[in-house]
Structure 1
Amino acid sequence: MARGVAAVAAIGIVAAGLAVRAGADGAFAKYAGSTLYTVLLCTLVAFCAPRARPLVVAATALGLSWAVEFAQLTGVPAELSAHSTAARLVLGSTFNAPDLFWYAVGAAGAWAVLRAAARARG
């Protein structure tokens, strides 16, 4: 994925996340946000490593998502989130096991899109 495409995709994903947050609530909003979190990380990984294979991009983003979720078990993200909106958005505050599944859904979806794009390029 070219850096320009990754940057535009990241902006679109953030907009989608904000739209979900503004227009929905409950489980749908929570897990859509979790899924989009990993998709956003995929675009950021692709931006930083534009020649990386789609599987590497998706696996890296999934690993980062899971690392952040498991870090929530330490209480450090909760402490940082109490003092910073940015930290709350990036790190969250409370471990939620179902998020691990939804991160995988986001990584799988991003992988499928990246793989299709790579095949289309030849």
Structure 2
Amino acid sequence: MGDLVRVGVRVRVWVGGVALGVVAAGLGVRAVASGDFAKYAGDALYTVLVLTLVVLVAPRVRPVVAAGSALAFSWAVEVFQLSGVPAELAVHSTVARLVLGTSFNAPDLFWYAIGAVVGWAVHRAVRARGRERQALGTVS
């Protein structure tokens, strides 16, 4: 197996674990908190999860592109809620309710942006750390 393939697999496994951690954090927030804090933390974490999925699919994606893609997707899903289709799908599917939501809420757009900024900052820092380790020869 070539070095690039090995690194790509390692990154995907690591990012997959991060994605599971983000899901656990979202479920944990909902389990221990309520009200606006839980709702808006969930919104931000939704965008962070989308960002991790973007990185899972494209491990070499630049942080700004991953964050922008995640934010665009999150906003698109929120605006799609204006059509009523997600609410109808949610009646029949818990997965649809979790992925698409049910009703438009303008403040969600702001919290998705917060999630994108946090995800961008973490992605950028992790990527810089990886490059630093690679430059020092500590990554095989």
Smaller-chain TM-score bracket: over 0.9
- Give the distance between the partners of 2:95 and 2:44, measured in 1 at CA: 18
Shift of 1:4: 1.1
Count of aligned residue pairs for this structure pair: 122
The answer to whether the aligner puts 1:94 opposite 2:103 as a matched pair is: yes
Q: Which consecutive residues of structure 2, in runs of 5 or more, have no partner in the other structure? A: 1-7, 132-140
Q: Which has the higher contact order (CA 8 A, sep 6+)?
A: 1
TM-score for both structures, normalised by structure 2:
0.85
Q: Which consecutive residues of structure 1, in runs of 5 or more, have no partner in the other structure? A: none
The answer to whether the aligner puts 1:3 opposite 2:3 as a matched pair is: no
- Give the distance between the partners of 2:130 and 2:19, measured in 1 at CA: 20
Number of the residue aligned with 2:134: none
Number of the residue aligned with 1:50: 59
TM-score for both structures, normalised by structure 1:
0.97
Paired-residue identity, % = 61
The answer to whether the aligner puts 1:115 opposite 2:124 as a matched pair is: yes
The amino acid that maps onto 2:119 is: A
| Structure 2 residue matching 1:51: 3-state secondary structure | coil
Pairwise CA RMSD:
0.9
The amino acid that maps onto 1:116 is: A
Determine which of 34, 37, 40 is the counterpart of 1:28.
37
